[in-house]
Structures are given as structure tokens and as C-alpha cells.
Amino acid sequence: MAMGVVVVIGFAIATYQIWSNDNALRDRGRQASATVIKVHSGKAGRTVVQFSTAEGRQLTALIGQGDGAPGWQPRVGDEVPIVYDPQKPTADVRDARAPENHHTAYFSLAVTIFGAIAVPIAAVALIRANRRDREG
């Protein structure tokens, strides 16, 4: 039960952070040109880019989950237009060619809601089963 609560709280925090980052990119995002410096392989592979802020700071960031341009297969050395948050420039960035979306935030929210409903139901079922075992 306690582990379920911890997992639900973890997903709730992650959902808030993802949603906040998406909104920050939409509301105050700045565009820059970035160079792909690393591509992580696998289904959930992430792309690491290096870019310069408007103030000239050279930074490294990840393109967020689901924030890459549709059909784009990144390779080291590729130039990609990105949108970054000037208040948190090292947070996840978005490929400027990608449509704005909240897919990852919606998925995380769905898992949070499912867990918030399922954990109490499972806890009640376990308590009842334990009570029946002691009585019978």
C-alpha cells in the first residue's frame, strides 16, 4: 500500500513538472539553433543537443519525450531548431519543427489517476481478505 502511494505521488510530481515545462516553452520559449551531440538508442531514446542562448551561454539539453519533429531520425552533427526556456535553459527543449503537444503529460496524468483510484481499492480488498483469513 505504502509503495503504491509513493508511486502515485511520484507520477503526480512528474506530471506537474512535464506540464509546467511544456507551458514554459509555449509561453516564454526562445528559439535557437542546436547541434545534435548524442543520440540515445532504443524506443525511449533521447537526443542530446548543444546550443547557445541569446546571452551567449553554451549549454547542453535533452529534446523532451515526444518533442522531436515527426519522422526525424537524428544523427550526431545535425543542426536542429529548438525552443528553450530562458529561465531554465538546461531543462528539456522542444524541436521547433514539432507541433506543441502534451502527450507525455497526458499519459503521466492517466497513470496518476489510475493509481489514485486503484491503490485505495486494492488496499480495501487486501484489508477485507486479511480480515476474512483471521475470522475463518
Sign of CA dihedral 55, 58, 64, 68: positive
Question: Residue 95 in contact with residue 81, Cβ under 8 Å?
Answer: yes
> What pLDDT is stored for residue 43 in this prediction?
54
> What pLDDT is stored for residue 44 in this prediction?
59
Write out pLDDT tens, residues 30-82: 999 999 999 987 655 689 999 999 899 999 999 987 778 888 889 999 999 99
Residue 27 has pLDDT above 80, yes or no: yes
Q: Which whole-number Å values give the CA distances from 29 to 33, 74, 85, in the listed order? A: 13, 22, 5
> What pLDDT is stored for residue 132 in this prediction?
85
**Which H helix or E strand runs over 123?**
helix 103-135
Confidence of residue 100 (pLDDT cuts 50, 70, 90): confident
Buried b (16+ CB within 10 A) or exposed e, 63-72: bbbebbbeee
Write out pLDDT tens, residues 101-117: 777 878 889 999 999 99
Residue 89 has pLDDT above 80, yes or no: yes
| Number of Cβ atoms within 10 Å of the Cβ of 23 | 15
Highest mean pLDDT out of 2-6, 41-45, 86-90? 86-90
- Of 133 and 61, the structure prediction assigns the larger pLDDT to 61
